[in-house]
Amino acid sequence: MSIKKYLIVSFLVLVPLLAKAQQSRAAIDSMHYAVREYRQSVRQEIRDYRDSIRVVRGQKCRENPHEIRIGWGDQLFETLAWYDQPHSTLYPESYIGQYEERYRYAQHWFAEYQYRVRYWFNVGGMIDYSGVVWDKVNRNGLGKEVSRDKNCNFHNIAIMATARFTYMHTKYVSLHSGLGVGLNINTGSEIDYRGRKTALAPALNLTVLGMSVGNEKWFGAVEFGGLYSLMNIHEVYLAGSRMFTLSVGCRF
């Protein structure tokens, strides 16, 4: 084959190949452009969605930012720490012993106000009351009652600043944790080792897990945690009390 024929054949073969390659490159460039456009549209939709969430959250912060609730809490700590003392019948009749009997537990009752600063953060204040009442009974050695004092009691009033952190929020259910710090006032009929009937101590309330169910106006809540108040090992007023609470409230 002469050089001229070789060049002609090569030209006839290469021209279609180059045309196909150019078409493929154009198709690839078009595909890349479409992918870039799709990515940009997705990113813009994500930005729009995030902006809409911020708007909704901002509206929720402005709508009904105030919250008031009242609730009940258990007295497990008090039930375990103060209970009826069994009296003995093994002493002579002339023996007089003093016993604490018929304990009654008032449970915990609390009221709280909170203000919504962010959709996930609330601040406010709480007051909590609890009390225990019992009889102080004198009995002889045979166990017979000689006298009874029904006015024995102590009461705790805790006043605390509170903060709540909401980490999951849906239309009707939210999960949160919280912290309360303040002062506890312990008072009653008894005199402590310092000769006081009323004592002050720091108060700490921990909400490990809380769940609120309801709409933006009315709701009920259940919480697990504990209320603590003590100065030292001799002055323990609350230690893991109010581990379980139920409450109802409204927002406005």
- Given a cut of 90, is residue 243 above it in pLDDT? yes
State the pLDDT at residue 224.
97
Three-state secondary structure call for residue 249 = strand
Range with the largest mean pLDDT of 2-16, 39-53, 192-206: 192-206
Neighbouring CB atoms inside 10 A of 112's CB total 23
How would you classify the pairing of strands 66-73 and 244-251? antiparallel
Q: At which residue do the structure tokens 């490159």 appear? A: 25
Residues 8-33: tens digit of each pLDDT: 655 566 666 666 666 667 666 677 77
Q: Which of 159, 157, 120, 114 is nearest to 249 (CA)?
A: 114
How is 194-241 classified by DSSP, letter by letter? TS-SEEEEEEEEEEEEEEEEE-SSEEEEEEEEEEEEEEETTEEEEEEE
What's the whole-model pTM score? 0.73
State the pLDDT at residue 59.
60
Residues 201-231: tens digit of each pLDDT: 999 999 999 999 999 899 999 999 999 998 8
Q: Which of 15-24, 65-74, 132-141 has the lowest mean pLDDT?
A: 15-24
State the pLDDT at residue 61.
57
Neighbouring CB atoms inside 10 A of 28's CB total 10
